[in-house]
Structure formats: C-alpha cells, structure tokens
Amino acid sequence: MKSPFDLDKMYIDFIDKKNDENYQERYVGNEGWYKASSAGFCSRKMYYETIMKLKPVDQPNNSSKMKMRLGTIFHDEIQGALKSLNSSELYIYNKSIDNVYIDNVSIDNVSINNKEKTITDSKKEMKVHVEGNIQIDDLNVRGHYDIVFEGSKVYLYDLKTIGSYPWRLKFGRDKKPDNSRAYPLQLGTYAIGIEEMFGRIDGMYLYYYNKDTSVTKTIEVPMIEKSKAYMYWDKINEEHAKGLPKLELGQSPEQQWACGYCPFKSVCKPDDYIKEQKSKGVWF
C-alpha cells in the first residue's frame, strides 16, 4: 500500500518555513552588510548579495536542505545545553581554570592564596554567550557567533558539522593539506567583533561534529587569523569598489564544488568558465 502521508514534503515545507523565518530575522534590512559567515567563500557571490542586494535565486535541493538542517539542530542542542547551565555548573566544564595551578607553582602561602583567589574570581565571573551578534563598522561586516565563554579570559568557539568524507580528508590517516581558508577566516572575523565587545579575546576554536559517526574534535585556531580576517575584508571592500569580480578559481569561486551549491548560479552563469577550465585540466 502506498504511504498515505507525504512526510518528505511536510518536512521540506517545515524547513523552508524555518529558513524563511531565519532570513527575515537576520538579513532583511541588513542586505548592505557583508556576512561574516561568507569569509573565505566566493567574492562574486558576496557582490551579488551585498553590493547588488539580490535575493537568493537558486534553491538547494531537498537532500541538501535536510543535511543543512541537521547542522542547525546540532547548533541548537549545544547552545541549549550551555544556556541551561548556571555559573557554578559551567565552571565544572571549564578546563582552563585548572591551569592556574600549573604556572609558577610555589609553596609560598601568598602565591597559593593569590592563585586560589584567581580561581574563585574566575568561578564568579564565568558566563556563556550563545548566538550573539557582531558588527564591524569599518569593514561593513556583521554576523552571529556560536559560543563565547567569558571568565577571567574570553574564548570563542564555532561549531561545524561535516560528513565522513570531508572528515577523513581533514582528520583521517590519509588526510590531505587543507586549502580552505574559509573556517579560520570566519572565526577570525568573529574574533574581531568579540574583541570589540568584550575588550579581549584569548583563544578561538573550531568544534567539529561528524554527522555520520557522532565523533567530535576540537581544533585551536591561531590568533593570527584575526589579523588575516581584517586584511581579507579590507581587500574584499577594495575589490568590490571596482565592480563585479571576474570568475577566477581560488577567489570566485574559492573551490570547484561551490558553484553547484550557489544561490546565484543562474545570475552568475559560470558554465562557460567551468568548461574552459576543464579543457585546461584545471577543473575536474
């Protein structure tokens, strides 16, 4: 007997509704700002959405919508778990505070008392901020960070969900050099805004979740990415002041697969360029 209820269509309609709500809340009225999450991705795409202020034209297929929704659900779960913790509970999971004992260990009572005071102060000050806004006026960039831990120091975390294949390429035994600059640049961009908001930034991390195996991995991102992000957005502003960037692999688009998922593909019309690159053996 044929299924009497179309669950696929119901769920896709639900995802479309949620995506539209998210778009209305975050981006309507802010079309003239660059999105921090676009850092490291296609410069032409950014020109279409920020300079020309076009609405997305080409929608992802249903399978892609479901995959992206899994990432949203994971973000919501982690952020919800963090918001449920009070300051004392949050301290339990803060490994960095224990490091106070490691540096300059001394049997001097004054030194010990100072360290204990530092730990006590850190407990009192420990806060978590999730899904907050950043806005960098001089770069015309705004966005939404995932997690900020605020105590005696300030740490920034960005959550990333990926499948098993990209996981193997990034972390497996046969891992390949990671050419993508996007994730570190995104984090560096958020770090600029976080430093402006909190007065400091002491560390930043990418927290990866394998959607197929539920394995996780935390990677520290060097603080130099903050400076790189500033220079990157400064260059984007300069480039876009000259007009629509030309198609050029590595910048527009940044990677070969990106055109297939671009919401402006029918506007950009990259097919002739792709064909030309394939004839040269550059595009596979």
C-alpha Rg value of the chain to the nearest Å: 22
**How far from the centroid of its chain's Cα atoms is residue 157's Cα?**
9
Domain locations along the chain? 29-235+251-279
Sign, CA dihedral 20-45-226-162, equals positive
Has residue 275 got a pLDDT over 70? yes
- CATH topology for 29-235+251-279? Lambda Exonuclease; Chain A (3.90.320)
List pLDDT tens digits, range 164-193. Answer: 988 988 888 877 766 578 999 999 999 999
Least confident of 146-150, 234-238, 280-284: 280-284
Strands 127-130 and 34-35: unpaired
Has residue 100 got a pLDDT over 50? no
**Tokens describing residue 68:** 């992206």
pLDDT score for 228: 97
List pLDDT tens digits, range 36-52. Answer: 999 999 999 999 999 99
Report how far residue 240's alpha carbon sits from residue 151's, in angstroms, rounded to the nearest whole number.
39
Segment 118-135 mean pLDDT: 74
pLDDT score for 122: 47
pTM for the predicted model, two decimal places: 0.85
Report how far residue 206's alpha carbon sits from residue 176's, in angstroms, rounded to the nearest whole number.
18
**Tokens describing residue 166:** 């990209």
Q: H or E segment at 44?
A: helix 43-46
Burial of 239 (0-12, 13-18, 19+ CB in 10 A): middle
Mean pLDDT of the chain: 86
Q: Where are the beta strands (DSSP E) in the chain?
A: 34-35, 127-130, 133-136, 141-144, 147-150, 154-162, 203-210, 216-221
Has residue 215 got a pLDDT over 90? yes
pLDDT score for 174: 74
Strands 147-150 and 127-130: antiparallel
Least confident of 46-55, 169-178, 191-200, 211-220: 169-178
Segment 129-144 mean pLDDT: 95
pLDDT score for 109: 46
